[in-house]
Structure 1
């Protein structure tokens, strides 16, 4: 299947061919228009990265580069959050951020400039005979055994593949 993937920044160095799992996000570039009494209106751009598995939102500095990958379906985690929930979470996050920067009697008008569903790459690799996950955007490594337990019984979702 073809999916859009956020450009990986980090990759494990010890392994020539690590495996991976793709974690779902929806990315929004929003524009907020604030009306103000007796002052000029304010316009802000906001980039929201909405986690489609846990329904969290992070603010980004821009719209990350996306690449199309052709992958096996089993490497892709299914989103648990639908589009409307993701959009509302992005708007809520943008309003909270915008309201901390401007005083207005009104909620902002919000326009979606650009959006895309994309996946973050989590590399699965072995180091010192132990399996690890690496976040491809932050470079953080996580012991798979600590995440899922020695026998794998705590294992849920695509992390276990």
Structure 2
């Protein structure tokens, strides 16, 4: 299957690590604020909505995306649909915008761009220990801290 992937920044030094793709929906939103006695304000907001746990993070821009051809078992299925993700992005944008602009009115919001994309989590072994690396911040986690040693007790977002 062909999917859009957020450009990995970090990759383990392992020669050929495995990976899992974690679902997000990225939004570029433009907020238009009317203000009494002042000029109107226009703000751009970038929301990264986690389609597994329904959380939203603010980004500095729209991350570069690559298209990868991958096997379906490498892709985590989202638990959140587009409508819920868009609602979460809009709520996050309004909260952020209202902390920066004083206005009697809620902003008019335009969706400039949106894409479903996946964050790469590298899976590799080092010194006999199975690890997972976040490709955007380089943080490493022991696999058994997310999944029980028997492989069935799932305590993290990588459970399938």
Match for residue 95 of structure 1?
94
Match for residue 11 of structure 2?
11
* RMSD after superposition: 1.4
Report SS of the residue matched to 1:159: coil
**After TM superposition, which residue ranges in structure 1, 4 or more long, deviate above 2 angstroms?**
155-161
1-structure distance, mates of 2:111, 2:97: 15
Match for residue 140 of structure 2?
141
What is the number of equivalent residue pairs in this alignment? 160
2-structure distance, mates of 1:99, 1:122: 34
Match for residue 70 of structure 2?
71
Contact 2:148 / 2:155 at 8 angstroms: preserved in 1? no
Return the TM-score normalized by structure 2.
Answer: 0.96
Q: CA deviation at 1:118?
A: 0.3
Return the TM-score normalized by structure 1.
Answer: 0.96
Contact 1:9 / 1:137 at 8 angstroms: preserved in 2? yes
In the alignment, structure 2 segments of 5+ residues that lack a partner are none
Match for residue 53 of structure 2?
54
1-structure distance, mates of 2:39, 2:55: 33
Match for residue 110 of structure 1?
109
In the alignment, structure 1 segments of 5+ residues that lack a partner are none
